[in-house]
Amino acid sequence: MTSETIAASTASRSANADPSTVAGRDLRLLMIVPGVLVIVGLFVYPFIYGFISSFNPQGENAEWLANYQRFFSEPRLYETVGKTLWLALPVTILNVGLAVPFAFMLRTPSRGQRLLSTLLVIPMTLGTVLVAEGLMLYLAPNGWLNRSLLELGLLGSPLRLLNNYWGVALSLLITGFPFAFMMMLSYTTGIDPTLARAAATLGASPMEQFRRIYLPLLVPGLTITFCLTFVQAFAVFPSAVLLGAPAGATRVISIAAYEMAYEEYNWSMASTVAMVMGATQLVIVGIVLGLRQFSYRGPVVGGKG
Give contact residues for other proteins (rule: CB under 8 A).
192, 194-195, 197-205, 208, 212-213, 216-217, 296, 298-305
Which residue, 48 or 291, is less far from other proteins as judged by CB?
A: 291
In whole angstroms, the minimum distance from the beta carbon of 218 to other proteins comes to: 10
In whole angstroms, the minimum distance from the beta carbon of 294 to other proteins comes to: 12
In whole angstroms, the minimum distance from the beta carbon of 219 to other proteins comes to: 9
Which residue, 14 or 108, is less far from other proteins as judged by CB?
A: 108
In whole angstroms, the minimum distance from the beta carbon of 117 to other proteins comes to: 24
In whole angstroms, the minimum distance from the beta carbon of 197 to other proteins comes to: 5
Which residue, 116 or 200, is less far from other proteins as judged by CB?
A: 200
Question: In sequence order, what are the beta bridge partners of 25?
Answer: 22
Which residue, 62 or 204, is less far from other proteins as judged by CB?
A: 204
Which residue, 191 or 260, is less far from other proteins as judged by CB?
A: 191
